[in-house]
Amino acid sequence: MRRTLPLAALAALALLAAGCGTPAAGPSPATPASGSSSAAASSGAASSTAPSSGTHADPAALDVVVNKTRPVAPPDWAPSDLVAVTGSELPLRAEAATAAGDLLDAAAAADHDLTTLSAYRSYDYQVRTYGHWVDELGRAEADRVSARPGYSEHQTGLAWDVGDAATPACDLEACFGDTAAGRWVAAHAAEYGFVIRYPAGAEDVTGFGHEPWHLRYVGSAEAARVEAAGGVLETAWGLPPAPDYAA
């Protein structure tokens, strides 16, 4: 998703998550092992990634679609197989984490130092993230740059935000797509099972502007099919546009 919290806000939230003034929060996205299995058990999560749900609604399936009209169900669902991405403490689902590691290795071989900026986020973490942007920008603009709690595909453990160590000024910004690393990602992500979830010119379908850093794992065969169909997940999978929330 386009916006994560700035470093100062993340430091403050670390204190909040430790119990300083708010109820205890869910598992931090930076701690893949802590609490993930118990959270998943309480939410009925599957222990392995289902290849297809047929309805694109099962959060445990690789073909799940989460957007402004398709929330995660149940809202507090959490994966049970989170694994840290290579070179980071931030986790993805096991299959996606393996693919991310392969992509990072290939990028490094092509002289691009990609970094992991965001990966899995719990429902509770998204409550705080979205609340921050509402306070900063107002609700209408926050809805353009940050998903509401329960509507973030980061909660599925299949969404991965990447950056370029050589151009940190373009982290989580559209200019990432203009960097050499960003162009490499656009050209090669599908080979490793990822698609650019929010491509340019598709905001009326996806609900979000161009996010060249935001990758979504679907598996290599399906990524090739999505790209062949124009690169927009909703369109490729026959789902209606989701430009905004119902209310």
Q: Give the length of the chain.
A: 247
> Model confidence over 53-80: pLDDT tens digits?
678 999 999 999 999 999 999 999 999 9
Q: Is residue 16 predicted with pLDDT exceeding 90? A: no
Distance CA 166, CA 161 (A): 16
Peptide bond between residue 59 and the one before it cis (omega within 30 degrees of 0): no
Distance CA 17, CA 150 (A): 19
pLDDT at 145: 87
> Model confidence over 184-225: pLDDT tens digits?
999 999 999 999 999 999 999 999 999 999 999 999 999 999
Mean pLDDT of 227-233: 97
C-alpha closest to that of 124 among 61, 72, 161: 72
Q: H or E element: which one contains 116?
A: strand 114-118
Cβ-count burial 139-152 (b if 16+ within 10 Å, e if not) = eeebbebbbbbbbb
Query: Which of the residue ranges 14-18, 105-109, 146-150 would you say has the lowest mean pLDDT?
Result: 14-18
Distance CA 110, CA 177 (A): 16
